[in-house]
Amino acid sequence: MQNAQAKKTFLAAAAYAALSVAAADGQIDTQVAHVLNAVDEYRQDREAVIIEDFVELLSIPNVAVNLPDMERNADHIIGLLESRGFETRRLHAGNAPYVYAELNNPGAAETILIYAHFDGQPVQEENWAYPPFSPTLLDAPIQAGGQPVDHVEASFDPEWRLYARSAGDDKMPIVALVHTLDALAANDIELSVNLKLLLDGEEERGSPTVDKIIDQNRELLEADLFLFCDGPMHQSRRTQLVFGVRGGTTVDITTYGATRPLHSGHYGNWAPNPIMQLSWLLTSMRDESGRILIDGYYDDVPPPTELELDAIAHMPDVTETLKNELSIHTPEGDGKRIEELIMLPAINARGIVAGGVGAKGRNIILSTATTSLNLRLVPNQTPESVRALIEAHVAKQGFHIVYDDPTPETLRAHPKVARLDWRGAGYPALRTPLDDPMALRLTKLMRVIAPDLIVTPTMGGSLPLYEFGSRLSAPIIILPLANHDNNQHGENENIRLQNLWEAMQVYGAVLATFGDM
């Protein structure tokens, strides 16, 4: 047993060493260097045009439930792609559109499929400093006192920020890609691979029809490597490859008191208080450190591999930086690094609806209180298995579970009632092994492009990678491109211009050289 473990540890260390070999002799591959320089010089001459194209795309509202807006986005994107020689298809499976496109090189033997999405989270416009669909260029982040840029004399400062919904999540890869292709064409640089794109119009809703999209178009989506271009880069700003995501599902839980609000003085200490019931239920699910207390929740959770732990150990530790930036004294996790913690499942309350506070506070005991729980899953967990564990826990706390609003008869018959509303099917996690042959090959190339590349076993967020990984054969690797502080999903979402410029260089080098390695 000890020999087997020693062999496993040795192989893991050897595999990580293979990831770190790139450019050990100090010589940067001349072909990659040529592409990087060509794309950068092309960009420097056309920054204003690139920004104008980006602003035009960002100006189209893109909340996925507004189907006419999503069709307008698809029209615009198809126009950008077809003008660059792509053959395109608009794919539907009942909700917002997906855009499929391909650009073939007759001499290429391999195919890369790039995924991004063009929908965005809903906006609360009153919370934004500038209108979310009127992109605004600032000379610094808002929190640093950034002011609008009214006129550009020559080049754009790479530290400027463009503020708009989906600037960071996730329209930037689309604009970066089309202008990268322009740069390669202008310099007579051919693609080394066939290129396919799948652009998702409903990712922020959990991609509820992506399974049907894949099932109906399997041949179209076959590739040798999937690059998912979504999510923020590492907090250090260093180039990063990510090899997995957590899965996700959501449940809303409602607890009940009397069938009408009651005066808190007359009925307090007697009438059940749904806010207090809900609070006790939440604190029974996890402790102060974030560790989940539900029986059996960690039973199927795999420990990190030696290779994954080695990768984490080689990542820059951003704990103190984040504590300072976010004004946090004591993070959750009992002192573990964030990179290790996001390899565990999580239960987070994303909202509570339960009366008012301050000027809206009333001296009453409400009839209901509701929380929405966001559940992040890791490999071997499924939405179905997590649902069973949570429902067993809620029942163990003395709640009678219902799935619709309870009748007065139901409330009279049970001491505590909880309604569980499972919001969609959710999806499991996915991780690609760090030592997969295609993963090693891409990592080697990326270390030529960016010698200080960060290799990350998994990101903390969720993407519908499992739907692809369970149906198609190509390994899936995430190439995050947006700045880590892009405020994705929140107000004042933004992109740092240098991230856009670097995305173009990375796309150029990968597309022009990966097939030749």
Whose CA is closest to 200, among 226, 230, 178, 225?
230
Average the pLDDT over each of 135-149, 287-301, 456-470 and give the range with the smallest value. Answer: 456-470
pLDDT for position 463: 79
DSSP string for residues in 226-289? EEE--SB--TT---EEE-EEBEEEEEEEEEE--SS-EEHHHHTTTS--HHHHHHHHHHHHB-TT
| Tokens at 261, concatenated | 């609000």
Q: What is the mean pLDDT of residues 264-284?
A: 97
pLDDT for position 335: 93
Whose CA is closest to 118, among 190, 69, 180, 47?
69
Query: Residue 217: pLDDT band by 50, 70, 90 thresholds?
Result: very high
pLDDT per position as a tens digit, 276-307: 999 999 999 999 999 999 999 999 999 999 99
Q: What is the mean pLDDT of residues 70-88?
A: 98
Helix (H) / strand (E) containing 89: strand 87-91
The span from the CA of 463 to the CA of 473, in Å, is: 17
Query: Residue 462: pLDDT band by 50, 70, 90 thresholds?
Result: confident
Q: In this structure, are residues 390 and 295 in contact, taking their beta carbons and an 8 Å threshold? A: no
User: Could you tell me the residue ranges of all domains in the chain?
Assistant: 2-245+429-516, 247-301+344-422
| Tokens at 107, concatenated | 């001499």
- Which CATH number applies to 247-301+344-422: 3.40.50.1820, 3.40.50.720, 3.90.25.10, 3.30.70.360? 3.30.70.360
pLDDT, mean over the chain: 92
Q: What is the mean pLDDT of residues 258-275?
A: 96
Q: Which pTM was predicted?
A: 0.83
User: Which range in 151-155, 268-272, 314-318 is most confidently predicted, on average pLDDT?
Assistant: 268-272
Helix (H) / strand (E) containing 14: helix 2-19
pLDDT for position 12: 42
- Which CATH number applies to 2-245+429-516: 3.10.180.10, 3.40.630.10, 3.40.50.20, 3.40.50.2300? 3.40.630.10
Q: In this structure, are residues 88 and 200 in contact, taking their beta carbons and an 8 Å threshold? A: no
Q: In this structure, are residues 464 and 206 in contact, taking their beta carbons and an 8 Å threshold? A: yes
Q: In this structure, are residues 51 and 138 in contact, taking their beta carbons and an 8 Å threshold? A: no
Backbone angles phi, psi at 99, to 5 degrees: -115, 125
The span from the CA of 102 to the CA of 82, in Å, is: 10
Task: Cite the beta strand spans of 449-498 per DSSP E.
Answer: 454-456, 476-478, 494-496
Partners of 407 in the β-ladder: none
pLDDT at residue 27 tops 60:
no
pLDDT at residue 4 tops 70:
no
Q: What is the mean pLDDT of residues 215-227?
A: 97
Question: Which residue's entry shows tokens 């640089």?
Answer: 189
